[in-house]
Amino acid sequence: MREFGILTLSRYREIFTVLADSIDKYSIPARQKVLVTSGDAYFKKFGDVRDGWVQVKGTEPFNFSRNVNLGLFYLRGMDILLTNDDIAFTNTVTPLIDIVDAHPHVGIVSPQVIGGVGNRLQSVDYKFTQPLDFIISKDRLAFVCVYIRKEVIESIGLFDDRTFDGYGSEDDDYCARAIHAGFKLAVTNKVVVKHGFGDYTYSSSFRQTMGDIERDKSMREMRQRFLEKYD
């Protein structure tokens, strides 16, 4: 089995605890688990974060890519399971590893998601029409939870830490660079995660500030920008 590390960013211990508990529940066999907390105040608030996890102090003001890169540097040389802190696994991640192991052209693979997500293929509401282990996505993946093979990172490097416009633009950029390097993006329904719970999650605030019509319009606009820029 390929070696991988888990990487998440979090400011809220109570949210992170749900993620960590689900990882323990399914005995997800990571070689290393890294939590990046941004800035001194959050770092101190976590304290001794949890057995088996390494806590890395991130940067403020918060920059997603810059903090991800700190974790990637710590986990260099292995595959990465990059996940939001506001998710919980419902089963093991072994199918993600099996897909990457068996299909070298697949560079980034996502589970399906219960809750807010950008790419429609990633939603559990999208039903596979054939008994496939995975499907290739022509759209960018939302990095709610993604498995990235180390060859992608070795080929295209770290995340671009410039300030992007719009939510999820860092995901768009990294997916586009992976595609240009010859890798495919994939989604599997063999792994499912729950996304969005609690008072501090992006998903919950996104749903509170936008109705269904506005949220769908926002997602379509994000997809159109991606296609115009990278097709």
Buried b (16+ CB within 10 A) or exposed e, 39-55: beebbeebeebbeebeb
**Coil, strand or helix at 44:** helix
Longest CA span, the chain? 49
* Ranges 139-143, 150-154, 169-173: which has the least confidence: 169-173
The CA-based angle 28-206-191, given to 5 degrees, is: 25
Domain holding 32, by residue range, is 4-230
Please check the confidence at residue 90 and state whether its pLDDT lies above 90.
Answer: yes
Please check the confidence at residue 78 and state whether its pLDDT lies above 50.
Answer: yes
Q: How far apart are alpha carbons 34 and 40 in whole angstroms?
A: 17
Query: Are 80 and 40 spatial neighbours (Cβ–Cβ below 8 Å)?
Result: no
* CA-based nearest residue to 186, from 62, 60, 102: 102
Please check the confidence at residue 188 and state whether its pLDDT lies above 70.
Answer: yes
Here the tokens at position 213 are: 């019509």
Does an H or E element contain 179, and which?
A: helix 169-180
Q: How far apart are alpha carbons 210 and 49 in whole angstroms?
A: 34
Mean pLDDT of 153-181: 86
Here the tokens at position 124 are: 């559990």
Tokens 């998440």 -> residue:
8
User: What is the model's pLDDT at position 208?
Assistant: 47
Which pTM does this prediction carry? Answer: 0.86
Mean pLDDT of 97-126: 92
Percent of the chain with pLDDT over 90: 55
Query: Are 83 and 68 spatial neighbours (Cβ–Cβ below 8 Å)?
Result: no
Please check the confidence at residue 200 and state whether its pLDDT lies above 80.
Answer: no
For the domain that residue 218 is a member of, what is the CATH number? 3.90.550.10
Query: Are 43 and 101 spatial neighbours (Cβ–Cβ below 8 Å)?
Result: no
User: What is the model's pLDDT at position 219?
Assistant: 53
- How many C-beta atoms surround the C-beta of residue 132 within 10 A? 12
* CA-based nearest residue to 7, from 206, 134, 231, 28: 28
| Structural domain count of the chain | 1
183 secondary structure, DSSP code: -
